[in-house]
Amino acid sequence: MSFFNPLKKPNNPALPLPTPDYSRTYHDNHNNVLRLFFNQLQNVFDNVLGPNGGQFIDYPNGLFFNTVDQPYSANNTAEPVEFDSTYLSNGVALRPGSSSQVGVTVSGVYNFQYTGQVLASSSNKKDVALWIARGGSDITYSTRINSIQANGHYFEIVWNFNIDLAAGEYIELKTSVSNNFADIKLAAIAASSPYVAGASSVLTVNYVAPLPDPRPVLP
């Protein structure tokens, strides 16, 4: 199915060369070229500023997920949340050589929505922490903790947040478990009729607004 986009970038007006003497033909041609150009501009503005104009605007966005389990390697140890697959990538992408660092090429405020599926294989109480790092530095007051005390149960850990990023900066989600690290993991789900396979981690990223000036200071 093709997508009809009524927004066509106007070409620069090819104005006729002026004549040394007054010429009605020259002025008519000059005005006709400008009239066509302004009509094209008006068409763009009418569509963008209309009630459904946002559908024609190209926003940076991305969607990343992990198709395999991600186990924890130790207790009380920061570990990056990893992704092995990319579904959407427009100005937002995993940095070259990294499976966890999500970078942007356009400065702005971005909304990040993360969901991780946790599976515990023991009934011992475990605290699973999730927090945000920007450019390799942990962001204060960004930690969320889920306490899990069940055997063979699935749990979701989620984080939905907005954050400012300059072009070239990146976000990395980090996680840790308090104890019994071998008994818990971010778990992918195998397909089993009637449902399809599920990812161990899913992250969506959407551009929200221009970068504030001046940028806010992190707490």
> In terms of domains, do 75 and 48 share one?
no
> Is residue 157 packed enough to be buried (19+ CB in 10 Å), middle (13-18) or exposed (0-12)?
buried
Q: Can you give the residue range of the structural domain that contains 87? A: 61-209
> Do 194 and 124 share a structural domain?
yes
In a domain, 24, yes or no: yes
Mind listing the pLDDT tens digit for each residue in 161-198? 999 999 999 999 999 999 999 999 999 999 999 999 99
- Mark whether 78 and 163 lie in a shared domain: yes
pLDDT, residue 1, reads 46
What is residue 66's predicted lDDT score, i.e. its pLDDT? 98
What's the pLDDT score for residue 94?
Answer: 98
Q: Which phi and psi (to 5°) does residue 74 adopt?
A: -165, 165
Q: What is the structure's pLDDT at 193?
A: 96
Locus of tokens 């005005």: 31
Q: How far apart are CA 76 and CA 127, in angstroms?
A: 10
206 with 142: CB under 8 angstroms?
no
- What domain count does the chain have? 2
How do the pLDDT tens digits run along the chain, 219 residues long?
445 566 677 788 888 888 888 888 888 888 888 888 888 888 777 777 777 777 777 889 999 999 999 999 999 999 999 999 999 999 999 999 999 999 999 999 999 999 999 999 999 999 999 999 999 999 999 999 999 988 999 999 999 999 999 999 999 999 999 999 999 999 999 999 999 999 999 999 999 999 999 999 988
Does 120 fall in a domain?
yes
Could you tell me if 50 and 68 lie in one domain? no
Same-domain status, 160 and 138:
yes
Please tell me the distance from the alpha carbon of residue 181 to that of residue 107, in angstroms, as a whole number: 38
Q: Of 55, 75, 90, which residue is a domain's last? A: 55
42 is a domain residue: yes
Looking at the fold, whether 24 and 72 belong to one and the same domain comes out as no
Distance of alpha carbon 83 from alpha carbon 207, whole angstroms:
20
Q: What is the pLDDT of residue 48?
A: 76
Phi, psi of 104 (to 5 degrees): -125, 150
pLDDT value at residue 8: 73
Q: Is residue 216 part of a domain?
A: no
pLDDT tens-digit readout, 43-52: 777 777 777 7
pLDDT at position 13 is 85
Please check whether residues 42 and 105 belong to one and the same domain: no
Same domain, 29 and 111: no
